[in-house]
Amino acid sequence: QVQLVESGGGLAQPGGSLRLSCAAAASIFKIDAMGWYRQAPGKQRDMVARIFSAGNVYYSDSVKGRFTISRADAKNAIDLQMNNLKPEDTGIYYCNAFISHQASDYWGHGTQVTVSA
């Protein structure tokens, strides 16, 4: 019922910046939370940042002070501003949407972020 469209991935230099965007097309249900998850090569997918409909924001310790998640102008859309990028930020970033009414998680196809000199 929900499709997520991601954009903004690419190649950045260490210390550089990228901005990821995700737009969710939901049928008739409210999206209660959206976020970004990262899967580094050979590692498990884990949470990077999440924002709830009430405005609560959560970050993983590794990105606090460097990444900022925010609600975009469009409904059910989020941005992730990534500053001071490090090589360990490299991975596939997946957009997530949670609908409590359905107790369901939805995932985008992922966008590659590579940080390398």
| Tokens describing residue 31 | 């999206």
Name the helix (H) or strand (E) containing 88: none
Does residue 50 carry a pLDDT above 90?
yes
What is the mean pLDDT of the segment spanning 13-38?
Answer: 91
Dihedral sign for Cα atoms in the order 101, 105, 108, 113: positive
CA pair distance 27, 8, nearest whole angstrom: 25
pLDDT tier at 100, thresholds 50, 70, 90 = confident
Specify the pLDDT at position 27. Answer: 65
What is the distance, to the nearest Å, from the Cα of residue 40 to the centroid of all Cα atoms in its chain?
A: 14
Considering the chain, what is the average pLDDT of its residues?
93
From residue 51, give the alpha-carbon distance in Å to each of 10, 70, 80, 90. Answer: 23, 7, 11, 22
Q: Is 43 helix (H, G, I), strand (E, B) or coil?
A: coil
Encode 93-103: b = buried (16+ Cβ within 10 Å), e = exposed.
bbbbbbbeeee
Specify the pLDDT at position 28. Answer: 65
| Tokens describing residue 5 | 């469209």
CA pair distance 62, 50, nearest whole angstrom: 14
CA pair distance 100, 107, nearest whole angstrom: 15
